[in-house]
Amino acid sequence: MKRAAIFLALCCCVAFLGACARGGLDSAKKTSQLRPQMTYDQVVALLGEPESTELRNGKLVALYWLHEMWKGNIPYDLTFDARSKRLISWKKNEEKLAEEQAYWASLASIIPGGNEGGAGGGGAAGPNDAGLMQQFAGYYYSFSSSGLGYTGGTERKLMLCPDGRYFDSAESGYSGSGWGSASQGSGGGRWSIQGDMNGGTITFTNKNGSEQVKFSRCGSDCVYFGSIKFAYAGPPQCN
């Protein structure tokens, strides 16, 4: 019953976050093709249908979730003249982006093992370098394409909190059918780290046990966890 409730909450979360980005992978690049006075139909032809529209201060505002490589799905507000439906301006919706980050952080409270001392937490993950943990804590993002002959791929997010908690999420979609159509998953627990900023071992512990993963840095904002390449996407959101 608890697993079903958590799965339902996560599904609601995916809907709230606008997990299905419009316009395809790395679609945020298409905003460089936007021009003032474009018609609403021209914008739809470029980006697809918006997630929602509303009248705001006499203007028609269309909300888009556009995919930005290494960062995930980013909300954009496109403002049109309500009568002529011609484009006036466009920008990232920073408020909604902050809501996404806050909601992502709140997942720690509903995922088993995501809270310190919570069910399935299993205590400390193992031998740990506390100083390195503080330096390595962060929000990490990965995207891998599905390969030749398919469209889509897998998007992963990993949040390493400085207090030893972690939580992660993965979404897969194929053949242009949209994120989450193939699979979705999420989890969390405790982590510990040994080595240095260039490489070492991270131990992840959750209700299913412990797993040791080798990591190695591939750049100032790039790190491999096992064989999967992640980008450092910013400080962790661990309220």
Asked if residue 40 and residue 123 are part of one domain, the reply reads no
What's the rounded mean pLDDT across residues 35-61?
A: 95
What's the rounded mean pLDDT across residues 153-175?
A: 81
State which of 98, 119, 153 marks the end of a domain.
98
Asked if residue 217 and residue 126 are part of one domain, the reply reads yes
For residue range 63-105, what is the model confidence (pLDDT) as tens digits? 998 877 656 678 899 999 999 999 999 999 988 877 766 655 5
For residue range 223-238, what is the model confidence (pLDDT) as tens digits? 999 988 898 888 888 8
Do 192 and 211 form a contact (C-beta atoms < 8 A)? Answer: no
17-26, 129-138, 213-222: segment of lowest average pLDDT: 17-26
90: its two tokens: 């466009």
Q: How high is the pLDDT of residue 35?
A: 97
Q: How high is the pLDDT of residue 153?
A: 66
- How far apart CA 193 and CA 199 sit, in angstroms, is 10
Phi, psi of 141 (to 5 degrees): -130, 140
Q: For residue 186, tell me if it sits in a domain.
A: yes
119 pLDDT band (50/70/90 cuts)? very low
Strand 183-196 relative to strand 87-92: parallel, antiparallel, unpaired? unpaired
DSSP assignment string, 81-116: ETTT-BEEEEEE-HHHHHHHHHHHHHGGGTSTT-ST
Q: For residue 9, tell me if it sits in a domain.
A: no
Which domain does 91 fall in, by range?
18-98
Helix or strand run (H / E) with residue 159: strand 152-160
Residues in the chain, overall count: 239
Which amino acid belongs to residue 7?
Answer: F
Do 98 and 78 form a contact (C-beta atoms < 8 A)? Answer: no
Beta bridge partners of 216: 199, 224
Asked if residue 165 and residue 82 are part of one domain, the reply reads no
Which amino acid belongs to residue 174?
Answer: Y
**Based on the structure, what is the number of domains in the chain?**
2
For residue range 170-204, what is the model confidence (pLDDT) as tens digits? 876 554 444 344 445 567 899 999 999 899 999 99
Q: CB-based burial of residue 168 (10 Å sphere; 0-12 exposed, 13-18 middle, 19+ buried)?
A: buried
Do 201 and 193 form a contact (C-beta atoms < 8 A)? Answer: yes
Q: How high is the pLDDT of residue 191?
A: 94
The answer, yes or no, to whether residue 150 has pLDDT greater than 60, is: no
Q: How high is the pLDDT of residue 11?
A: 39
Calculate what percentage of the chain has a pLDDT beyond 90: 37
For residue range 124-148, what is the model confidence (pLDDT) as tens digits? 556 889 889 998 998 998 887 654 4
Asked if residue 193 and residue 130 are part of one domain, the reply reads yes
Do 34 and 90 form a contact (C-beta atoms < 8 A)? Answer: yes
Do 213 and 201 form a contact (C-beta atoms < 8 A)? Answer: yes
Asked if residue 221 and residue 170 are part of one domain, the reply reads yes
State which of 47, 65, 98 marks the end of a domain.
98
Q: For residue 239, tell me if it sits in a domain.
A: no
Asked if residue 198 and residue 137 are part of one domain, the reply reads yes
State which of 74, 98, 122 marks the end of a domain.
98
Average pLDDT of the chain, as a whole number:
76
Q: What is the pTM of this model?
A: 0.50
SS3 60: strand
